[in-house]
């Protein structure tokens, strides 16, 4: 049975690939873009099943208007995909205040506001699915991506809480956690102004790896997107979807390290309760 999807950030990358795949299989898509004309070729081919809407997710009022209009125009929207976002690279003190604000406004607050705008409509229609595109960087951290990780770790905590709040309404969430892949993410990075003092540090090492091409991009974005689409038919929805071998290895290592440290503190944790 065909589905109707609402997807943000469809000009390129995962959003564009997902839109192409869904239209090709017969689904209907409401696709948001920041620049008009980005999906003109698809609009010409699938005019009856593709609604293209201009949207900047940092404009919370616009997010609500666009989401409201989409649910009004369609009998039902089965899946909302919060995909809009970008990467910001630089050691923490290399970044400007404005770069940090823009990163948080787009990746974190924009995603939160999209979800908040969709919830009343999903409740009214009796349920639905929200796919939040996070990253392996929602569980694991690379030096040089501190602000980006703040947004991804933040949205994962938000989703964990909201999923519990709305489970009784039939609304399910999946956090997609892709690892490095050959998309426009790297070329589209916003960067801070490098400070020479960071060149010999891990942040400098990552910077050089990205510039000389040695930063491994082993993930297949087409396979990633297909895996995200497939989750829409899974019951119950997987809370997390780890995509790519490097993501699996990095996330597992990070979780194991945190668990080991937690276990070492068990006696201290219990010892700091109120005395019986």
- Just list the catalytic residues: 134, 148, 152
Query: Is-contact 36 110, C-beta < 8 A?
Result: no
Contact by Cβ (8 Å): 111, 57: yes
Distances (CA, A) of 57 to 71, 169, 211: 17, 25, 29
3-state SS assignment for residue 58: coil
Q: Which two tokens stand for residue 205?
A: 């090492």
How far, in Å, CA of 241 to CA of 97, rounded? Answer: 32
Give burial (CB, 10 Å; 0-12/13-18/19+) of 33. Answer: buried
**SS3 of 184, please?**
coil
CA distance 146 to 135: 13
| HSE-up of residue 145 (Cα within 13 Å, Cβ side) | 22
13-24 and 221-231 helices cross at what angle (nearest 10)?
60
Give the burial class of 37: count Cβ atoms within 10 A of its Cβ; 0-12 exposed, 13-18 middle, 19 or more buried: exposed
């Amino acid at each position: 049975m065909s589905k109707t999807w609402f997807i943000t950030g469809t000009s390129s990358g995962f959003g564009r690939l997902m839109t192409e795949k869904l239209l090709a299989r017969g689904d209907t898509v409401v696709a948001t873009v920041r620049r008009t004309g980005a999906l003109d070729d698809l609009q010409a081919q699938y005019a009856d099943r593709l609604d293209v809407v201009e949207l900047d997710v940092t404009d919370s009022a616009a997010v609500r208007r666009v989401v409201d209009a989409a649910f009004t125009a369609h009998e039902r929207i089965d899946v909302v995909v919060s995909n809009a976002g970008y990467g910001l690279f630089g050691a923490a003190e290399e970044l400007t205040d404005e770069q940090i604000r823009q990163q948080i406004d787009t990746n974190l607050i924009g995603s939160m506001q999209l979800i908040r705008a969709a919830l009343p409509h999903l409740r009214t229609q009796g349920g639905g699915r929200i796919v939040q595109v996070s990253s392996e960087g929602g569980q694991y951290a690379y030096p040089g991506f501190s602000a980006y990780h703040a947004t991804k770790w933040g949205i994962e905590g938000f989703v964990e809480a909201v999923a519990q709040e709305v489970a009784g309404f039939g609304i399910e969430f999946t956090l997609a956690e892709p690892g490095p892949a050959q998309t426009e993410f790297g070329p589209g990075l916003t960067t801070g102004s490098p400070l020479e003092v960071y060149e010999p540090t891990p942040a400098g090492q990552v910077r050089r790896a990205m510039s000389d091409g040695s930063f491994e991009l082993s993930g297949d974005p087409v396979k990633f997107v297909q895996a995200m689409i497939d989750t829409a038919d899974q019951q119950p929805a997987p809370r997390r979807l780890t995509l790519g071998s490097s993501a699996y290895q990095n996330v597992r290592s990070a979780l194991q390290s945190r668990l080991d440290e937690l276990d070492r503190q068990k006696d201290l944790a219990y010892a700091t309760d109120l005395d019986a």
